[in-house]
Chain A
Amino acid sequence: MKITSFLNTLKLNETKKENVKINSDKKESGFDSLSMEKTNENLKIYKTLKDNNVEPTKEMIEEIKIGFDKLDGAFNQKIESLDMLLKKDIEVSEKNFQIIHNSLNTKVDYNKLFEVLSKYGENEEINYDELLNKLGFSKKVISEFIINLSKNMTVIDNLMSIINNDFINELTEVDKENINKIVDGNENVDDKTFELKVDEMLNEFEKTVNEVIDELKNDVPIEVIDLVNSSNFRMFLVETTTKEMNEVKNEFDNFKKENLNLIDNTLSLPDGNKNVDKKINALEKVINNFENIIMKSDITLYTTMKQEKELINMTSKLEVAKEYLEKNDFSEAKEVLKEVKKELDKIDFKPKDVKVKAFMKKEANKILFGEKNNFKDIYNTFSKKNKGVRDTLEVLRATGVNHDSEIAQKIEKSDFNKFQMNNLKNAVLDIMKFNEGKVSNELKNTVNNITGNQFQNKLEVKSNVQQMHFSIPYELNSKIKSLDLYVNSKKENEKMDWKNSTLYFVVNLKNYGKTGIRISSTNKVVNMNIKNDSDEFKNNSYKLFNSFLDELSEEGFIRGKVTYAKYLDENIEGNIKKDLGINENKNGFDVRI
């Protein structure tokens, strides 16, 4: 708790010393004035505080050292944790210190975590209440069915016993009809209108619903197959999917209409200095709308990768038009805007089959098993192949790094409808909530680790540079591996500037060993420098990285070069470190910002 008292001192000092310029020549004399022993540790703490614009006192340094004693690991790692807290403007409390320190020095073991999550979700019981309700049965049938469950009856026997019972008069006509359909295996049904309706609706999604039902037959207990196979269940899936796709299509049509109008308005405003700001403001709104559609709406959950790329390319072009306007180059801006208008006009929402199927299966699982098996969706998100932008964003969200901010935004808007947070932080917190007192420390540490990742990616308000670190999970041979990503970017309107950023990926590949991929975008020109020591690596990856550069140029980047180097080439490594502010540690090429 001593560190917490240090925190108050720190914050006060920070305010007082806000304008203090640090003169490196005076550092030593500053330290001398503290009358402290000139140990390596004291000097390093002193320097870390100074580097982060905090004027150190003897008391602060002493308290930080007490805090350090409570952390595991080497002294330099603790300094790194202190540096990160200060850089991110996070209070140096004991708890925050622990959180950031653990997340900097330990990784979430995704495989172990999924093992634990599946253990807690092991008792997968069918949610009959919800299922029968969705199949159109009355409360009477549902309650009798659930009573009969304890008698170990099959679904068919259960329904037969309900229809043959004394209370048959209490059943609705729909109940009787539904029971007959399931008992008779959906044959000999007289209601032609109903069947026609099913036929009509199935037309669009017939193949998809059949595939989903076939897969579900393998996932559900044998006694439920008759219910899953019923025409009512199929119709429920088709209806839900049709509704969702119609809503998304409407959303897309409205987006198109609104932004075509905004672009038209911008084009119709007379050129000249008087209207520049108006034009720029309108364009910023359009850019923001495009980014929201790509990153937040349901639309890109279903679009093809081609459409997703087209939307990104249009966003980049809009930024180019904005740059022309800022330079008062109206004719060039107009040309670009006309191009975007033409492209936007042409694009239509058409959901991708495989994404429609994923939605349908998710809805089916929700009805069958309830919301508690979300971890399976998370696993599927990680293991999906050939990911697009939205898929990748969903992977990052599924790790839990966005959890609290999204919840807070929902609470702000009192938006509690359609509320489903599929991420690891939520899944673990759920288990902790329902198993209070019986949860392993491992799970508690996982939550802290995810929170630490959230800390590491906190926006650096005071700096013009934004640094982030992500651990990106992907699946290989039914195991989850992860790729480390360090991003260093200029900041533009509280957002990373894609035109001026450096991304560094570090991964240990099964076939090729340690690999570092540095991708820099400087004024949109993208260069890649790939470091690996394996002889075959260059041959086997050259085409892939080059085609990737070509693809990026379809999204607004300018094509640069792909170069290769040895992983341990000290010059290149040194340059990269200099670029990204990487500290070398005992693991060789582990990178930290």
Chain B
Amino acid sequence: MKKHNIMEELCEEYIEKSDEHEINIEKDSKVLKNTLDMDIRENIPPQLISIVAGVVNIIEILEKGEE
């Protein structure tokens, strides 16, 4: 329970600061705390993104009907 409360307090601080600087952030601390440890730049290595890029490029070629 303590861990969750600390996270919520931190999120409330983020919300306050974002208001001060007129930046958009999720305004419900209970929701916000579940979105913070998701950073695709940190969690996914470039090698995997490279696979995604390759597939998207092939899909686009196939969609256009080019070989």
| Residues on A facing B (Cβ under 8 Å) | 11-12, 88, 90-91, 93, 95-96, 99, 291, 294-296, 309, 311-312, 315-316, 385-389, 391-393, 395-397, 401-411, 416, 419, 421, 425-426, 429-430, 433, 451, 454-455, 457-459, 461, 466, 468, 472, 474, 476, 481, 483, 485, 487, 489, 494-498, 501, 503, 505, 507, 509-512, 517, 519, 521, 526, 540-541, 543-545, 548, 551-552, 555-557
Contacts and interface: CB of A to CB of B under 8 A. Distances in A.
Contact of A392 (B25, B37, B56): B56
Given A295-B49, A474-B60, A495-B43, 6 more contacts: A295-B42, A421-B23, A487-B44, A507-B59, A540-B62, A544-B67
Contact of A397 (B23, B25, B40, B61): B40
Contacts of B62: 509, 511-512, 540-541, 544
Given A11-B1, A96-B31, A389-B53, A555 B47 contact: yes
A555 B41 CA distance: 18
B48 A487 contact: yes
Contacts of B14: 407-408, 411
Given A401-B40, A404-B36, A509 B63 contact: yes
A396 B18 contact: no
A503 B31 contact: no
Contacts of A426: 24
B46 A419 contact: no
30 contacts: A95-B28, A295-B41, A315-B46, A387-B56, A387-B57, A389-B50, A392-B52, A402-B38, A405-B37, A408-B14, A409-B39, A411-B21, A416-B23, A419-B23, A425-B24, A430-B24, A454-B35, A457-B38, A458-B37, A459-B38, A466-B43, A487-B44, A489-B48, A495-B42, A501-B48, A517-B55, A519-B51, A551-B54, A552-B54, A557-B47
B40 A95 contact: no
Contact of B52 (A96, A472, A507): A472
A429 B24 contact: yes
A404 B35 contact: yes
A507 B63 CA distance: 11
B43 A404 contact: no
A96 B43 contact: no
Nearest to B27: A429
B17 to A, nearest CB: 5
A182 to B, nearest CB: 34
The 6 residue pairs across chains A and B that have the minimum distance between CB atoms: A498-B47, A429-B24, A392-B53, A404-B35, A454-B35, A295-B41
Given A393-B41, A401-B40, A433-B24, A454 B49 contact: no
A459 B34 CA distance: 9
B58 interface: yes
A401 B37 CA distance: 11
B26 A541 contact: no
B44 to A, nearest CB: 5
A548 B47 contact: no
Contacts of A489: 48
B43 A295 contact: no
A291 B39 CA distance: 13
